[in-house]
Structure 1
């Protein structure tokens, strides 16, 4: 711990004056709010047959769904991702003008994402395999094995954003706001085709158009083009309110059990407007936040949290399930969700989940630490190998988020883009993709000599 503290002190003290500390804060805060929201929204009950059901507190208290207009902050994380991707890719191009930067860019951007993700996947895969071989047959275990991988959808979306950064950044450099409006317009057309014309399956295109439009706002932020954030926030808020009040869109900006239309999966135009509102809102707070982050102690806290935030995100549902597992083991009766007793127990459940998350972070955050990097790869075909790798990893983690680890040996599967995937297939795709990205962006030798490409 002393070594980690000294390293944090060094990183915080070495922060260059031009670094935008506010974007680091937004990254950490958005993941923290998502973790807290998941813990709060989980409404776990036990059926008469002993099966565990994980419901949603917002379904029990529908009036509280308006809170998602503030606390559904995934658009903020993807906005920060666009900002970071723009700076990283441009930096590589400046430093290596004669080297194709794509493979090195993917490796650099995805290392701190894929390494902790692969650790999470392999550990849970081993646990699920051990339970299956031991013949464990428990409805509550099955529910946990299905639920624990659901946050991986976020990793899949982020992989797609990183993979598409170079062409989308070129579009941004050429058209600026026009590139954003092209993606937003495509999202509008998808919703019209889906909701007005009944075109089947077209709605899944908005996983790309909506989230990439939010990502594009990060490019605009990197260029200082978000000059009137209150106007952006107001336009987004009015647009979302009008769509919900006058259109078919639900109030909640997260998915609700049994709803006919979800704003989240697949994303809708209402969620895109929500993203505009949130981005404008957080940008409006930039100046006071920057003054706060100038304080060494505050900035040191952001640096510390940033070093394990992805690990905490990946393992936070494991911690929550561990808390309920202890309650089940001790035969503690579960109170009715949203009842007075349930609310009184919230601080205890959150405290226990936080303590268990801290333990998991202590064990697994080593995979999130920056790994030693070599020169930027750019050998012949490296870009194609990297693109293949990120595509395989994308399909692997998205497939695993859908199918989970339950019924591992029974071939339980789900359909992803017209292809049926099982948990073993998804794990194999994710691992193979990760290894290809690592290989493609690793140090290489020139064909004309033995000297490594400068880094």
Structure 2
């Protein structure tokens, strides 16, 4: 930990004055809110089942309008991707550079959990909370899959942005509107899955607009988004919760809806309104050092935070610690202990696996763009497939449906692994006649 702390301090001290530190603060803060939200929403009972606090207390679903902050992460991702691609416009090299800190720790996570799941099931120990863990730990991988798509589509969508500006965003938002009309008014099957692209890429496109200083009325954006989301929920078929709920007929998250896009607009407008004080806060030396250190481990912490949470609950059950009924006074009183224990265990796991998040020291040549495109596509579908199948039922051939395709966990893992290796190879490959730098 000492060497990493020195490294973070050196990186913080070497940060150029031109860097937008507020963006880095938003990236860390948004992932932190997501992690805390997951820890708080999970309510494990003494029989090893997992409830959702928002289902137990439906009145709390309104807090997701402030705490569902994934749109903020994807927004700052668009900002960062625009700057990164403009500084490194070779597609394969751009992909490899952006995905190293994403895919390497992800594939390590998949390898460790996949091996453990196989052993657990061979010994028939996949009942109770262990079986729940095998299903749940891969669910956050949907975020990795969506982020892969954002990186892959950055070059063409950035070109559209440079030509059309807000028009490119409007086209994506219009696609989201059309999808929901076809879905809810005409019951067109499978069309809703297109909004995984339209909604999240529209939010990502807002990051391009920020990179070029084109978000000039953040207050209007926030007010319009909040009003739009409110009207859609009040008058349309959209649920109140901006996160997925167990057993719900319609989810705003999976697949995303127009209501979630409006929610994203309100959040983007809100964080842009706070840009001035946020930038001054991030500029403080102590704060900036912590932001740099957190950014260096953010993806590792995100990947392992559910493992830590379930590990804490498993330890409580093994030690016969009383787990109160969800949302009771005793349950709320135990929240600080559970979160502190989950944070501590996450720290242990980050210490063990953080080295896989470190970027490569060398700058690769331009590489093969077609190979990179194939690789990121395979990685995208593999990671999304695994987020749906989980690690349960490996030996029984358990399947899940990704859009209209049935996938198994082994097939998803193999697809993601091949995709990752192709991206790595593409980023290193030389174009004929090209000299390495």
Q: What TM-score do the two structures reach when normalised by structure 2?
A: 0.98
**CA shift for structure 1 position 68:** 0.5
* Equivalent position of 1:98 in the other structure: none
Cα distance in 1 between the residues matched to 2:218 and 2:391: 43
The counterpart of 1:75, out of the listed 68, 71, 75, is: 71
* Cα shift readout 1:69-120 (whole Å, capped 9, x = no counterpart): 0000000000011111110111113xxxxxxx11111001100001111110
Deviation at 1:255, TM superposition (A): 1.0
Q: CA deviation at 1:137?
A: 4.1
Q: What per-residue deviation string (whole Å, max 9, x for no partner) do you get for residues 113-163 of structure 1?
A: 011111101000111111122332423221110001000000000001111
Structure 2 counterpart of 1:217, from 199, 206, 209: 206
DSSP 3-state at the match of 1:408: coil
- Residue-by-residue CA offset, 1:277-327 (whole Å, 9 max, x unaligned): 000000100111111122111110100111101111000000000011111
**Residue from 182, 199, 202 that aligns with 2:171:** 182
Match of 1:15 in 2: 15
Answer whether contact 1:169 1:219 (CA < 8 A) is retained: yes
* 2:28 is the counterpart of 1:32: no
CA contact (8 A) 2:26 2:73 kept: yes
Q: Structure 1 residue 329: deviation in Å?
A: 1.1
CA offset at residue 377 of structure 1?
2.6
CA–CA separation in structure 2 for the residues paired with 1:291 and 1:374: 32
Aligned equivalent of 1:311, options 279, 296, 300: 300
1:168-213 CA deviation, whole Å, 9 max, x = no partner?
1111111000000000011001111111111111111111100000
Alignment partner, residue 322 of structure 2: 333
Tell whether 2:420 aligns with 1:442. Answer: no
Q: Aligned partners of 1:163, 1:247: CA distance in 2, in Å? A: 33
1:372 alignment counterpart: 361
Check if 1:399 corresponds to 2:385: yes
1:375 touches 1:452 (CA, 8 Å); kept in 2? no
Pick from 50, 55, 59 the counterpart of residue 51 of structure 2: 55
Structure-1 separation of matches of 2:6 and 2:251: 46
Conservation of the 8 A alpha-carbon contact between 2:99 and 2:148:
yes
In the TM superposition, what is the alpha-carbon distance from 1:59 to its structure 2 partner? 1.0
What's 2:256 paired with?
Answer: 267
Distance 1:443 1:19 in 2: 31
Residue 280 of structure 2 is matched in structure 1 by 291
Counterpart in 2 of 1:157? 146
CA contact (8 A) 1:142 1:407 kept: no
C-alpha separation in 2, matches of 1:140 and 1:253: 26
CA 1:36–1:339: 2 relative to 1, 3 Å? same
Mapped to 2, the partners of 1:13 and 1:353 lie a distance apart of: 31
- Gaps spanning 5+ residues in structure 1: where? 94-100
1:412-442, Cα deviation, whole Å (9 max, x unpaired): 1112132221111111111110000000011
Q: Distance in 2 between matches of 1:220 and 1:131?
A: 48
Structure 1 CA distance for aligned equivalents of residues 338 and 372 of structure 2: 42
Alignment partners' CA distance in 2, 1:137 and 1:121 = 17
> In the alignment, is the contact (CA less than 8 A) between 2:49 and 2:128 conserved in 1?
no
Q: Confirm or deny: 8 A CA contact 2:190 2:404 kept in the other structure.
A: no
1:427 aligns with 2:405: no
Contact 1:79 1:216 in 2 (8 A): yes
Q: 1:374·1:442 contact (CA, 8 Å) conserved in 2? A: no
Provide the secondary structure at the position in 2 that maps to 1:165. Answer: helix
Alignment CA distance shift 1:137-1:294 (3 Å):
closer
Residues in 1 aligned to 2:151 and 2:354: alpha-carbon distance in whole angstroms: 22
User: How many residue pairs end up in the alignment?
Assistant: 437
Could you tell me the TM-score, scaled by structure 1's length? 0.94
On the 8 A contact 1:374/1:443 being kept in 2, the answer is: no
Match of 2:161 among 139, 155, 172: 172
Q: Determine whether 1:44 maps to 2:51.
A: no
Provide the C-alpha distance between the structure 1 equivalents of 2:24 and 2:361, rounded to a whole number of angstroms: 22
